Structure 1
Amino acid sequence: MEDRYNELKQLVDGGGTIVFFGGAGVSTESHIPDFRSATGLYQMENQQAYPPERILSHSFFMEHTAQFYDFYRSKMIYRDAKPNPAHLALARLEQEGRLSAVVTQNIDGLHQAAGSRRVLELHGSVQRNYCMDCKAFYSLEDVLEMSGEIPVCSKCGGTIKPDVVLYEEMLDMDVLEEAANAIAAADILIVGGTSLTVNPAAGLVRYYPGNKLVLINQSETPYDSRARLLIKDRIGAVLGSLFN
């Protein structure tokens, strides 16, 4: 494993623009559960009246808003979560001018908390919330401090919705296009903490034309055979080793 760590460091130190594409596994080391693992969010079905996939859908939000928010507050919000070594390493690579973008499937805002500036959030962020009627902005803290089962806009009384992409909703095409362009322009693409099975996000890897694809994930992905470097280890340990 140490040889693979050294090979990654050589690739990164060799120059060229880096783009990082990450999923839920990037945040599990910050104690935020993923979705599909044995301890993930989707294993909670027997504890809920509805499966998580149903609760996290647009139609459920519209029809059962109070129940959505009960699940959302208890299972999707982690106020005490802090950036881990993976987030911090990526922020440092950007600050040093070596990394041009972070493309993430996560909604927790930990990349920005670590100091990353160009973060392309494919699925939105819990840190942003908007009134569905007047579009007034509310921070996560604003929403959590509101009384009542359903957050209500102080300006017009409309329902506030998190700026996250729910099931049945489309990804922001501008963000998706910017992510595809960033990946297409990368010299090195590092993919970590994602099974690369959920489209359209997973399909972004196909835009990478280079031969320096690095995959960091503890389970197999459909792109393993294409990787120049495959590391099956914790992503915090791997990326953190770049600065040890």
Structure 2
Amino acid sequence: MVAKLKDILSSSNNIVFFGGAGVSTESNIPDFRSEKGLYQGDNGYKYSPEEMLSHSFFVSHKEDFYKFYKEKMIYKDAKPNAAHYALADLESMGKLRAVITQNIDGLHQEAGSRNVLELHGTVKDNYCTKCSEHFDLDYVMESKTLVPKCNICGGDIKPNVVLYEESLDEDVIKSAISYISNAEVLIVGGTSLVVYPAAGLINYFNGKYLVLINKSVTSFDNIADLVIKDKVGKVLGEAVSDLKKGY
């Protein structure tokens, strides 16, 4: 399976990667829906994660939102894993056109990827809801108040992530559709493809090879050209490592 993937990577210079939470789990960032995911079991809060990560909850319960957000959504010690580095290598080799990610941790950029489309935003960027001034993650985490305040106007700061009830960024979506619809190879990794509208982007692919790398079954397995049920980092790390030997 990995040998077939290596052949596909070797033959194309127009590859796009579409990734989900399974890419970051190998960096010890929990996903949402797996057996040990954020949405499973008693989380110690009186609200569900879905409710606490909604726009209306942020507006009406900012302290509860930030308590949950800082405790469950921020992993400052997380480091890029083999998947992140393999994708950065493919880009530097001139093979990968874009990384499209549902993750908000910024690990792709930390690994060296330059063209990253973040469908759900990023914890690394935050903005004042009053004056729109932007702040980094350290500013939010080191705030003396639970709800971080703007140092210019005193307004409340919101993470630049897409919460439930909010729409995805239109420009990011358009760019993602363009990359996917023009790609020769689309690699989908670490996502069960159940979260829409992001999962619907796969329908725009008309290229030569659709590759799925995921530990569990997806609804697109039957139409993929290659399905590998394993960890994304393990698979991409091995395939790209072999490929680099020829460069």
- TM bucket normalised to smaller: over 0.9
1:225 paired to 2:222 = yes
Q: Deviations over 1:4-35 (max 9, x none)?
A: 00000000001230000000000000000000
Superposition pairs for residues 8-23 of structure 1, below 5 Å? 8-23=5-20
What are structure 1's unaligned runs of at least 5 residues? none
Q: How far did residue 183 of structure 1 move?
A: 0.4
TM-score, structure 1 normalization: 0.97
What residue in structure 2 maps to residue 175 of structure 1?
172
Q: How far apart in 2 are the matches of 1:98 and 1:44? A: 42
Q: How far apart in 1 are the matches of 2:93 and 2:5? A: 17
Q: How far apart in 2 are the matches of 1:46 and 1:80? A: 21
What are structure 2's unaligned runs of at least 5 residues? 243-247
Moved beyond 2 Å, runs of 4+: 44-47
What residue in structure 1 maps to residue 245 of structure 2?
none
Q: Secondary structure at the match of 1:42?
A: coil
Selected match of 1:71 from 68, 71, 74: 68
Q: How far apart in 2 are the matches of 1:119 and 1:60? A: 29
Q: Deviations over 1:127-179 (max 9, x none)?
A: 00000011011000111111011100000000000000000000001101100
Maintained 8 Å contact 2:13/2:94: no
How many pairs align?
241
> What amino acid maps onto 1:50 in structure 2?
Y
What residue in structure 1 maps to residue 192 of structure 2?
195
Maintained 8 Å contact 1:45/1:52: no
Selected match of 1:236 from 206, 230, 233: 233
Maintained 8 Å contact 1:129/1:161: yes
> What amino acid maps onto 2:165 in structure 1?
E
TM-score, structure 2 normalization: 0.96
Selected match of 1:215 from 208, 212, 217: 212
1:54 paired to 2:51 = yes
| CA RMSD across the alignment | 0.8
